[in-house]
Amino acid sequence: MKNLDSIFWAYILGWAIFFGFYLSIAKRSNDLRAEVDRLKKSAPGNSREK
């Protein structure tokens, strides 16, 4: 198959971008989830702080 390297790189780089983008969303979601937990714990009236 001619030009196999071009086909390989087009697909690999494309999927790497999608995968990286999905990972960035997942990482930002995890950070926000941790922040929600932190804010809920530090809220006045939280049983753990009493």
Task: State yes or no: residue 48 binds other proteins (CB under 8 A).
Answer: no
Q: x/- contact string, 14-43, with other proteins (CB under 8 A)?
A: x--xx--xx--xx-xx--xx-xx--xx-xx
Contacts of 28 (CB under 8 A, 6+ apart): none
The widest CA-to-CA distance across the chain, in whole angstroms, is 71
Quick one: DSSP state of residue 3? T
Task: State yes or no: residue 13 binds other proteins (CB under 8 A).
Answer: yes
Q: Is 27 helix (H, G, I), strand (E, B) or coil?
A: helix
Residue written as token pair 């030009």: 3
The least distance separating other proteins from the CB of residue 20, rounded to whole angstroms, comes to 9
Q: Which residues bind other proteins (CB under 8 A)?
A: 1-4, 6-7, 9-11, 13-14, 17-18, 21-22, 25-26, 28-29, 32-33, 35-36, 39-40, 42-44
